[in-house]
Amino acid sequence: MSQPEPTAENAFPITPRNRVRRRPARGFYDRTNVHRILDAAMVCHIAYAIDGQPYCTPTAFWREGDHLYWHGSSASRMLRAEAKGIPVCLTVTHMDAIVLARCGFNHSINYRAVMAFGRAHRIEGTEEKLRAMDAFIDRFFPGRSKVLRPPSPQEIKATAILGMEIEDASAKIRAMDVHDEEADYAVPAWTALIPVAQVLGAPVECPRQHPDADRAAGGMAGYQAGRRLDEVMTEMAGLAYPNLAYPE
Amino acid sequence: MSQPEPTAENAFPITPRNRVRRRPARGFYDRTNVHRILDAAMVCHIAYAIDGQPYCTPTAFWREGDHLYWHGSSASRMLRAEAKGIPVCLTVTHMDAIVLARCGFNHSINYRAVMAFGRAHRIEGTEEKLRAMDAFIDRFFPGRSKVLRPPSPQEIKATAILGMEIEDASAKIRAMDVHDEEADYAVPAWTALIPVAQVLGAPVECPRQHPDADRAAGGMAGYQAGRRLDEVMTEMAGLAYPNLAYPE
């Protein structure tokens, strides 16, 4: 296990808000590391403030180039506020391991995280919303939008899609083994790295499954029990966007 | 699978910031549901704003009653700003399942989430910081602080501990099976609920493990490969705080 290499080219600008100040050696600004971490996730947390009050909301999201999208009811407070173009910070975190040590100070967590900064805008227009709604489905389940009942006019109206161009972003990665001060190896505390991963369980099929339902037709073939969600997400992004490559 | 029952007693006040507006039937304000969700997590996301710019930072945290604690380097921007008492929103999210449906609109995620609101303050004083640093270790690994090399004066100085009294909070829970409009059951899309959970892997022991290291002595016995992290976290909270009960 070791820290990834930053790719020097195609990096986001380093600004006062995305610069990694605490443990800067864990900071990465290249699109390869940032995009990889984003594409391995289904859910992010979005911070925004209304009248000085911060909110932190979990939501599913997806990426197209440097553009991030998420959705919600048109009625939600977050989307109402963000449609005005308020600044947001969209964060993705993968927890990879609990890292024990021989003193409290050196206990840690292995993780891959991205903080992406920009201004949310609302996707307007029926055509563009329909495209985004299908893209939302197909990013996670490539081709599935084709086997679903299409969105109704009421559903399109009731769905708000928000987008954000990433203005600047940084990744922060800890991928290291147990590390202790030399003198502390004499302390007889049991010490290990304990891996953690989001893992898929066995599907619970709908009891009203249609007799002609074909799992392979809807982009679900990769969702096998026991697989890591981050690996499935990365695989699905590659299927949904066949030209996707890191670095892009 | 079904939605949990709210416990009517011992609820947080419902305020403009914690009221669940979107899908209010999924909202809970009672301490039983809020505390349970918090105690099942090791990592949260904290939203705060500096000069109008929101940030969303992942970090380990723990709960004592209605007080939440987290830590970081004294040098970190987040902690410098929060020590002044700025408002924060601390969010915990457990993703439990991907929920497929026969139209895009009814696709969903099963989750348990809490948004907790308050003002962060810095824990001051060597004694109180030491207590908090040991509590941080022992909440996750009950009794482990006793088998570690104690914090050094420099480590205490370099560690900032922040705390926040929960002023108001809400839980939002979706724990439901596939749900489609009646007419859509004729659509032959393969449909299921796909469980997702954070699961522990087999520990990678430190290659310099001390020959006298005793796993049982450091509160690590519960961290068995294949277990769900949320269940281990709940178990550890019960060991660390033997008087813990829901509702409290």
Q: pLDDT digit string (tens) for A157-197?
A: 999 999 999 999 999 999 999 999 999 999 999 999 999 99
Q: How confident is the model at residue A42 (pLDDT cuts 50, 70, 90)?
A: very high
Look at residue A78 and tell me whether its pLDDT is greater than 90: no
Searching chain B, which residue's CA lies closest to the CA of residue A90?
B56
Distance from CA of B246 to the nearest CA of A (A): 25
A55: which chain B residues are within 8 Å (Cβ-Cβ)? 17, 47, 89, 115
Task: Retrieve residue B224's tokens.
Answer: 């068995």
Rg (CA), chain A: 20
Token pair for residue B116?
Answer: 């907790």
**Is A192–B203 a contact, with Cβ atoms under 8 angstroms apart?**
yes
- Cβ distance B148 to A189 less than 8 Å, yes or no, reads yes
Does position B248 have pLDDT exceeding 60, yes or no? no
Hey, are the CB atoms on A104 and B229 less than 8 Å from each other? no
Residue A246 lies in a domain: no
Cis omega before residue B247 (within 30°)? yes
Q: How far is A167 from chain B (nearest CA, A)?
A: 13
- Using a CB–CB cutoff of 8 Å, tell me whether A145 touches chain B: yes
More confident residue, B199 or A51: B199
Cα of A28 to nearest chain B Cα, Å? 16
Q: Say how far apart CA A65 and CA B153 lie, in whole Å.
A: 47
d(CA B248, CA B243): 9
Torsion sign across C-alpha atoms A28, A139, A65, A125 = negative
Say if B123 falls within a structural domain. yes
Compare all CA atoms of chain A with the CA of B79 and give the residue at the minimum distance. A22
Which pLDDT band holds residue B157 (cuts at 50, 70, 90)? Answer: very high
In this complex, the residue of B77, B203, B217 whose CB is nearest that of residue A21 is B77
**Best residue in B15, B162, B194, B227 to probe A by mutation, most A CBs within 10 Å?**
B194
Residue A245 is assigned to a structural domain of this protein: no
- Shortest CA distance from A153: residue in chain B: B105
Report residue A125: phi and psi, to 5°: 95, 135
Q: What is the mean pLDDT of residues A52-59?
A: 94
Interface test with B, best of A92, A98, A190 (most B CBs within 10 A): A190
Q: What is residue B79's predicted lDDT score, i.e. its pLDDT?
A: 67
The string of pLDDT tens digits covering residues B10-22 is: 899 999 889 988 8
Nearest to B47 among A54, A149, A158 (CB): A54
- Residue pair B18/B24 in contact by the 8 Å Cβ criterion: no
Q: In sequence order, what are the beta bridge partners of B111?
A: B95, B174
Write the CB contacts of B216 (distance below 8 Å, at least 6 apart in sequence): none
pLDDT per position as a tens digit, B90-143:
999 999 999 999 999 999 999 999 999 999 989 989 999 999 999 999 999 999
* Beta carbon pairs, A and B, within 8 Å: 304
- Bond from prior residue into B151 cis (ω within 30 degrees of 0): no
Residue pLDDT, tens place only, B172-201: 999 999 999 999 999 999 999 999 999 999
Buried b / exposed e along B209-238 (16+ C-beta atoms within 10 A): bbeebebebbbbeebeeeeebbebbbbbbe
Query: Does the pLDDT value for residue B204 go beyond 70?
Result: yes
**Closest in B55, B73, B103 to A89, CB measured:** B55
In a domain, residue A19? The reply is no
The pLDDT value given to residue B5: 74
What's the pLDDT score for residue A75? 57
Instruction: Mark which residues 105-124 of B lie under 8 Å from A by CB.
Output: 105, 107, 109, 111, 113, 115, 117
Phi/psi region, residue B52 (left: phi>0; alpha: psi -120 to 50; beta: rest), is: left
Domain count across chain B: 1
Q: Using an 8 Å CB-CB cutoff, list chain A residues near B98.
A: 42, 140, 223
CB-based contact, A81 to chain B, within 8 Å? no
CB spacing of B190 vs A215 below 8 angstroms: yes
Question: Residue B175 is encoded by which pair of tokens?
Answer: 């724990």
Q: Judge whether B17 lies within some domain.
A: no
Which helix (H) or strand (E) segment holds residue A101: the answer is none
At B75 the pLDDT is 56
Residue-averaged pLDDT of chain A: 92
Residues A57-61 have a mean pLDDT of 96
Q: What is the pLDDT of residues A200-243, one digit of tens each?
A: 999 999 999 999 999 988 899 999 999 999 999 999 999 999 88
Of B43, B149, B212, the CB nearest to A95: B43
Residue A134: which domain range? Answer: 24-197
pLDDT of residue A5: 74
Report the mean per-residue pLDDT for chain B.
92
Amino acid sitting at position B155:
E
Specify if B14 maps to a domain.
Answer: no
Residue B54 domain-assigned (yes or no): yes
Residues across chain A? 248
Q: Report the gap between the CA of A204 and the closest CA in chain B (Å).
A: 5
Helix (H, G, I), strand (E, B) or coil at A46: strand
- Cβ-based neighbour number of residue B36 at 10 Å: 21
Each residue's pLDDT tens digit, B79-96: 676 667 889 999 999 999
User: Does A182 contact chain B (CB < 8 Å)?
Assistant: no
Asked if the Cβ–Cβ distance from A22 to B115 is below 8 Å, we say: no
Q: Is the pTM of this model over 0.90?
A: yes
Contact A148 B187 (CB under 8 A): yes
Domain of residue B51, CATH code: 2.30.110.10
**The pair of three-digit structure tokens given for residue A138, joined into one six-digit string:** 């197909």
The arithmetic mean of pLDDT across residues A127-133, rounded, is: 96
Measured on CA atoms in the order A140, A145, A148, A154, is the torsion positive or negative?
A: positive
pLDDT above 90: percentage of residues in chain B: 77
Closest to A60 measured CA to CA, from A119, A121, A141: A141
The answer to whether residue A3 neighbours chain B at the CB level (below 8 Å) is no
B245 within some domain: no
